[in-house]
Every structure is written in C-alpha cells, then in structure tokens.
Amino acid sequence: MPLKRYGSLASFYTADSRRIESRELDVGLWWREGEDGPLHRAAWVRDTGELYLVRLGPDTVGGGRVEVLARVDDRDRLESVLDGWREHCGEPRSLAWLRERAGRLSARARVTQARMAASVAGRGTRPGPASTMALR
C-alpha cells in the first residue's frame, strides 16, 4: 500500500521543497502491471528518503499520478532490497515485484519504529527531537 498519493508529479514536488533540490536515484523507467499495461518510472529522492512511482502517459489516462512506495534514508539498504531490479524492470508484472520489495522497506521501518517506541515506553521517557529525526 502506498504511503501517499499525488495527482501529479508537480504536486508531489511542490508538497515538500526538499524534493525540488534533491538528487534522485533512478530505479527504472518501464515498470508495468501486465504486458500491455501503462508504464511507470520509479526513483528514490535522497533528501526525503522516498521511493516513488509515477505513471507515465497523458493525464487523461492517469499519467503523472505519483505514489510514494516507501521511505528509506539509507541508500545502501535501498539498493540491497532492490537488488536485481534491472533484470525485472520492463517485464510483465514487474510492478508487483517492485511493490513487494518496497513493502519490505516499509515493514522493516515499522518494526524499527515499534522497537524504539517500546524501548522508550519501558524507560518512561518520551523521544526528544534527535530520536524523532531517527524515525523518519
């Protein structure tokens, strides 16, 4: 399940100014649901840690819509989880492969956050700004 959706690439970028200036890591241009399905481009925004997917094509058929699939601040972790993407991108149903891998990134982040929250709760303290930053 995507973390957030945007109606256009422009609305995605303007919703967080860090996205506009950030470098991006391309993660494939030909992701697709089926053999004749619409194409999608995936990329990772370094400054926000967002792995996003944008549907290609005219807006009259859904082109330009953006889904944030996962958040991961560590590029090495991203590359490790998405290892082999070049071999899958462009194949029919390759988008299912990408979504499953993105789900691994999100699931691991939720487990880490839950462990940190349990640790903090066990000490009877609340996370300060530094702890909050680590969760993003």
What digits encode the pLDDT tens for the residues 12-26?
Answer: 999 999 999 999 999
In a domain, 129, yes or no: no
In a domain, 132, yes or no: no
pLDDT in tens, 20-71: 999 999 999 999 988 888 999 999 999 999 999 999 999 898 899 999 999 9
In a domain, 36, yes or no: yes
In a domain, 136, yes or no: no
- Contact predicate 98/86, CB 8 Å: no
In a domain, 105, yes or no: yes
- Contact predicate 22/87, CB 8 Å: no
- Contact predicate 131/116, CB 8 Å: yes
In a domain, 82, yes or no: yes
Task: Look at the chain and report how many structural domains it folds into.
Answer: 1
The domain in which residue 88 lies consists of: 4-123
CA diameter of the chain: 55
pTM: 0.76
In a domain, 130, yes or no: no
Q: Which residue's structure tokens are 């089926």?
A: 34
